[in-house]
Amino acid sequence: MRPALSAKAISVCDEKIAKKGEGVGLSFYAFFANRNDDPDLLMEAAEWWIKTHALNHFEKATKVREMIKSGQ
């Protein structure tokens, strides 16, 4: 995952956790606006989420954040 996407994903996870608590879940779509303005970046996130790590559609934000921070 490219550094800009990693930083954005961690920021989104942090925001969700701050607003809704440690148990909040999210999907990779949370990292993007409601429009598909960067399909390559969206596909990169989808591949990391689905193909590389076989994550469920919704995962705990804390889990995703830690995976990204650890370089997985």
Q: What is the mean pLDDT of residues 37-46?
A: 92
> What confidence tens digit (pLDDT) does each residue in 45-71 have?
999 999 999 999 999 999 999 999 999
pLDDT at residue number 69: 96
Determine the Cα–Cα distance for residues 11 and 15; give it in Å rounded to an integer: 6
Residue among 23, 21, 26, 13 at smallest CA distance from 69: 13
Give the pTM.
0.90
* Per-domain residue ranges of the chain: 3-69
What is residue 72's three-state secondary structure? coil
